[in-house]
Structure 1
């Protein structure tokens, strides 16, 4: 009887693993259109996320064509990532389509200059969680982990020393859940004070949103800590 029970358990485990393997991959749209400053790290960022996708059962589509922002086109995706976008990049119809995507349960992820995007679209400002104000020279700074359980931060130490371009923010949405806070005493030029969120998440208007202020430099995308941080944000947005 014990042998039969053991065989059944093994069979069930194998069946679950096979089911996981056969699950259709989530679809992720990476949008990198710029109408202002263009980051040299965009292509590196796309390649990094593509590498992560191959190991974590999601597929990416990369575009800079805003025409993809229609209801029919967006409905195939579970997540839209704004990777170092800048400026006014969507027209009124495209904005409406993206709002509907989020309201229907889609997810959004913003990386670095996603907050330097669509200043005249208040809905987007609330979705991304803040707007870019300015930044000092790139520098090494200490990031304090606020949340140790989120998939994008649980691999990090309590203090993470990282080199990047550190944004100061304005119009911070008070409903965001801060997971990483920047220690302004460790670099020059911070303007947000003790409350200087640099990564956060929240639920907004029917969907999920995740943002990280890191990701200016090419070198960031080769760092294991940052890559795992990105992956954790993606997995949160994919509701895994």
Structure 2
């Protein structure tokens, strides 16, 4: 366990800081490693200070993924994770955490993680298949009545790495889609309905995912930060929001 991780855990246990909820940010990679990870962690830490919730960031699966430590958090963010990042015992602890009512937030390549874990595929909702080059495209709102969605225009230009996904592994509520006629999706586009962000109740817990966030500079964008906070807020508290 890193000294910084131990220090923040001790703070959570002591109750020294009153906060709305606690979030674990997990950014371990066993495949492609995104350059955006430092900027993404910093952005979530700043959101925590702005919205009064505690943030613990780690890549130490052994320290974090056990029943005792996971019980300290209301939501766990898989932030730009890739590959097989948890062992069998850690997976079992995370399954128990969600079954006990915990929240999950997946960001971008969280869908490019743990392909051999069927339970995780159901939690995420869609698994990554492939992507074309980074491009500017039209992002479309499918549902504004969710935390953080009130900042989006009905249609807006966004630059990102637009993931194509395998078919859904769960019944999902879709928040954002991308208009494939506005960019070059490559040979394996998804057609007229191309999801980008969604959420669903899963077992006794909650799961939110967004494919946005490939570029480091994106984490300085107030719109993406609002979107991420909305997902974390809902995953941690279960509280909804109506924009209209």
Q: State the TM-score, normalized to the length of structure 2.
A: 0.87
Name 2:175's counterpart in structure 1: 179
Name 1:214's counterpart in structure 2: 212
| Residue 46 (structure 1) aligned to one of 41, 44, 65 | 41
Determine the C-alpha separation between the residues in 2 that align with 1:76 and 1:40: 29
After superposition, give the CA deviation of every residue in 1:168-206 in whole Å (9 maximum; x if it has no partner): 000323411001011101010251111211000000011
Name 2:149's counterpart in structure 1: 153
Determine the C-alpha separation between the residues in 2 that align with 1:133 and 1:51: 31
Q: Which contiguous aligned blocks of 4+ residues in structure 1 show a shift greater than 6 angstroms? A: none
Cα contact 2:123–2:170 (8 A) shared by 1? no
Cα contact 2:19–2:54 (8 A) shared by 1? no
Shift of 1:89: 0.4
Name 1:88's counterpart in structure 2: 84
Cα contact 1:113–1:213 (8 A) shared by 2? yes
Name 2:97's counterpart in structure 1: 101
The SS at the match of 1:93 is helix
Name 1:125's counterpart in structure 2: 121
Name 1:198's counterpart in structure 2: 196
Determine the C-alpha separation between the residues in 2 that align with 1:90 and 1:152: 30
Determine the C-alpha separation between the residues in 2 that align with 1:80 and 1:196: 26
Aligned length: 219
Name 1:228's counterpart in structure 2: 226
The SS at the match of 2:149 is coil
Shift of 1:23: 5.1
RMSD: 1.2
Question: Structure 1 pair 37/29, CA: closer, same or farther in 2 (3 Å)?
Answer: same
Determine the C-alpha separation between the residues in 2 that align with 1:86 and 1:193: 26
The SS at the match of 1:81 is strand
- Give matches, 1:133-152, under 5 Å: 133-152=129-148
The SS at the match of 1:237 is helix
The SS at the match of 2:73 is coil
Cα contact 1:147–1:154 (8 A) shared by 2? no
Determine the C-alpha separation between the residues in 2 that align with 1:72 and 1:43: 27
Unaligned runs of at least 5 residues, structure 1: 1-21
After superposition, give the CA deviation of every residue in 1:30-64 in whole Å (9 maximum; x if it has no partner): 00000000000001000000000001111111110
Q: State the TM-score, normalized to the length of structure 1.
A: 0.89
